[in-house]
Amino acid sequence: MITRLLISLFWLLHVLPLPLLAFLGRSLGNVLYLLGRSRRRVVMTNLTLCFPELDLTARRRLARRHFQALGRSLLERGLLWWASQERLERIVRFEGAEHLSALQSAGTPVILLAPHFVGLDVGGARLAMQFDVVSIYARQKKNPVLDYWLHYGRSRFGDQLLLARQDGVRGAVKAMKAGRPFYYLPDMDYGRKDAIFVPFFGVNAATITGLSRLSRLARARVVPCVTRMLPGSSGYVLEIGEPWADFPTADVEADTRRMNAWLEGVVRTMPEQYYWVHRRFKTRPEGEQKIYPA
């Protein structure tokens, strides 16, 4: 019942002008910052580890800005489900599409490296208006209503192929070889399976090695794909970069380190927009103490 009420609220909000919707989203973020004690502690722990050069006041200010961006992304989700394509194209500017088009024209498999910034789903929707891609998502088995709308939002435009995480990556490799770019999100803590410990902001983080392995299996080029939430109520920009050179190599660990180093560089350009509510350092090397408070 609660989920259905929230979906109805998103539908009502999606008709509002973006400046008003953005204001309400930032206001929601302020409330979440004040009331979400557990998640606020996770965010502050992450920021303390990743930005030791900041004092406590600066970290708190950054945490509040993160919750404001997160609140915006939550309330603006209704746009992905019901706004017209024309409106979304006005809200989300697309830069660098020519890099992806050129690789497709050459018949080159592509992995779109899409980190967990708050605009991730907005960028995915904008991408789907011009390209048919393959992506992996986590089924919401405990909440079929939410699962339906998340799936609907990600498959609304074009001919998108959504694979469940439980199905593995074979389908993604096959789809890449058939010409679909892979919208890939490898930058979270998925546990020890298929992961190695490499630095992220100077802290050893359990990081899956899939980017290196999959690019080798599919003979795919890795292309950065970043969505930025613009200041105020200016919308978003989806940025497709140039394909990485000399990737993958024979050294999987070096490849994974390169991915984290690249991600760290992008995060530093918009630190409030990275998904700090995630326990990125939850999995620890053997013998190390837990980082996050119980």
Closest-CA residue to 92 (of 78, 102, 79): 79
Number of domains the chain is built from:
1
* In-domain check, residue 269: yes
Please give the residue range of the domain that contains residue 108. 2-273
Task: Mark 155-192 as b/e (b = at least 16 C-beta within 10 Å).
Answer: bbbeebbebeeeeebeebbebbeeebbbbbbbbbbeee
Q: Among 40-54, 71-85, 144-158, 213-227, which stretch is predicted with the lowest mean pLDDT?
A: 144-158
* In-domain check, residue 170: yes
* In-domain check, residue 293: no
* In-domain check, residue 212: yes
pLDDT value at 37 more than 90: yes
Closest-CA residue to 51 (of 201, 209, 166): 201
CA 64 to chain centre: 19
* In-domain check, residue 111: yes
Task: Give the pLDDT band of residue 245 (cuts 50, 70, 90).
Answer: very high
Mean pLDDT of 278-288: 95
* Diameter of the chain measured on Cα atoms: 54
What local confidence, expressed as pLDDT, does residue 151 receive? Answer: 85
For residues 188, 158, 149 and 170, what is the CA-based torsion angle, rounded to 10 degrees?
A: -40
Q: List, in order, residues 6 or more apart from 49 with CB less than 8 Å away.
A: 201, 203, 281, 291
What local confidence, expressed as pLDDT, does residue 196 receive? Answer: 98
* In-domain check, residue 284: no
What local confidence, expressed as pLDDT, does residue 111 receive? Answer: 98
* In-domain check, residue 280: no
Q: Which residues pair with 134 in a beta bridge?
A: 161, 182
Joined together, the tokens standing for residue 158 give 């074009």
Q: Which residues pair with 111 in a beta bridge?
A: 182, 222
Closest-CA residue to 281 (of 49, 18, 24): 49
The edge-to-edge listing of strands for the beta sheet with 221-229 is 92-95, 236-240, 221-229, 110-113, 182-184, 134-137, 161-164
What local confidence, expressed as pLDDT, does residue 144 receive? Answer: 87
* In-domain check, residue 281: no
pTM: predicted TM-score of the whole model, two decimal places: 0.94
Mean pLDDT of the chain: 95
